[in-house]
Amino acid sequence: MAPVKSRLCKTKKEMAVELAEYTADLSSKFCKERDKFTVVLSGGDLISWLWKLLEPPYIDSIEWSKWHIFWVDERVCGWDDADSNYKLAHDGFLSKVPIPAENINAIDKGLGAEGNAELAAERYEECLKDKVNQNIIRTHKSSGFPQFDLQLLGMGPDGHMASLFPGHDQINEKKKWVTSITDSPKPPPKRITFTLPVINYASYNVMAVCDIEQADSVAAALNHTKDVPAGRLIADVEVVWFLDQAAASKLHHGWWCSIL
Ligand SMILES: O=C(O)[C@H](O)[C@@H](O)[C@H](O)[C@H](O)COP(=O)(O)O
């Protein structure tokens, strides 16, 4: 199984610096190996921790034209809605880097605005399949599931990741690539989300978590004291949890020793 590692960061600033270095290293590796880099974003706080990538040396050295952007989950709404994860990423990150517009793969604009979660999930799965056929997304050899190069994920205080919430059925989906939820406990209620197999076949998974509100779920996920969706996160090559001190404060002693 791929190793689960963690990096303890003193401050959010330190986390942003570490995240930028980690992402830039993988960008350079995949651009060299594949001439492209598939990156999956989430919503929530994650985007606010990507600011370091917008500064030298990264802004000038990263091969942005080779990046292909996807979303691990999206709220079913218009692209210009305040709830939209696309808008969050666009305003805070994507509008500031030269990634070609055709490489940015957001939820279908019309279905999002109409609020049709089920169809929007089906359409997003078709979009992923098109990108597999164009050799942009790799597939995992034995399972045929898409295999993203890097996913940048966040976790909510209840231990959810993407829009896979505790006690909701979406976490058990084993065939679909993308599914929908219409009663999300975190507003807004309608969302589409990658399924657990898609999330877990990614080559590199980053889980970035800050603040005391998430500390119990960080401990549950990493010490496996309670079954929370984020506790099921694995990857093909490596999972790294980037934690600030507050988020890591309830991990048991053994885990602390392994990260200090
Ligand atoms: O649509 C969303 O809400 C996000 O994509 C979601 O999956 C996010 O990653 C987690 O909820 C963590 O969010 P925070 O970082 O805000 O806790």
- Confidence at residue 186, expressed as pLDDT on a 0 to 100 scale: 97
Nearest to 61 by CA among 100, 21, 101: 21
Nearest to 203 by CA among 227, 177, 230, 238: 238
Question: What is the number of the ligand 1 atom nearest to the C-alpha of 72?
Answer: 5
Task: Confirm or reject: Cβ of 107 under 6 Å from ligand 1.
Answer: no
d(CA 163, CA 29): 29
- What is the rounded end-to-end Cα distance, in angstroms, of the chain? 23
pLDDT surpasses 80 at 256: no
Task: Confirm or reject: Cβ of 38 under 6 Å from ligand 1.
Answer: no
**How sure is the predictor about 259, in pLDDT bands with cuts at 50, 70 and 90?**
low
pLDDT surpasses 60 at 257: no
CB environment 127-137: b (16+ within 10 A), e (fewer): bbeebbeeebb
Q: How many CA atoms lie within 13 A of 236 on its CB side?
A: 19
pLDDT digits (tens, 9 = 90+) for 21-77: 999 999 999 999 999 999 999 999 999 999 999 999 999 999 999 999 999 999 999
Full-prediction pTM beyond 0.90?
yes
Task: Confirm or reject: Cβ of 154 under 6 Å from ligand 1.
Answer: yes
CA of 43 to the centre of ligand 1 (A): 5
Question: What is the number of the ligand 1 atom nearest to the C-alpha of 161?
Answer: 7
pLDDT digits (tens, 9 = 90+) for 193-206: 999 999 999 999 99
pLDDT digits (tens, 9 = 90+) for 71-118: 999 999 999 999 999 999 999 999 999 999 999 999 999 999 999 999
Write down the architecture of domain 4-259 according to CATH. Answer: 3-Layer(aba) Sandwich (3.40)
Maximum distance among all alpha carbons in the chain? 50
Domain coordinates in residue numbering, the chain: 4-259
CA of 205 to the centre of ligand 1 (A): 15
Edge to edge, what strands does the sheet with 178-181 contain?
Answer: 73-75, 191-194, 178-181
- Confidence at residue 252, expressed as pLDDT on a 0 to 100 scale: 79
d(CA 207, CA 242): 6
Q: Which residues contact residue 163 at a Cβ distance below 8 angstroms, ignoring those fewer than 6 apart?
A: 73, 170, 181, 184, 186, 191, 192, 193
pLDDT surpasses 60 at 14: yes
Q: What is the dihedral of CA 151, 58, 242, 185, to 10 degrees?
A: -50
Question: ipTM of the assembly?
Answer: 0.93
Average pLDDT taken over every residue of the chain: 96
pLDDT surpasses 50 at 260: no
pLDDT surpasses 60 at 258: no
3-state secondary structure at position 99: coil
Beta strands at 204-209 and 138-139: parallel, antiparallel or unpaired? unpaired
- Confidence at residue 254, expressed as pLDDT on a 0 to 100 scale: 65
- Confidence at residue 241, expressed as pLDDT on a 0 to 100 scale: 97
Task: Confirm or reject: Cβ of 162 under 6 Å from ligand 1.
Answer: yes
Rounded to an integer, the average pLDDT of 215-237 is 96
CB–CB of 69/104 below 8 Å? yes
**How sure is the predictor about 255, in pLDDT bands with cuts at 50, 70 and 90?**
low
CA of 83 to the centre of ligand 1 (A): 11
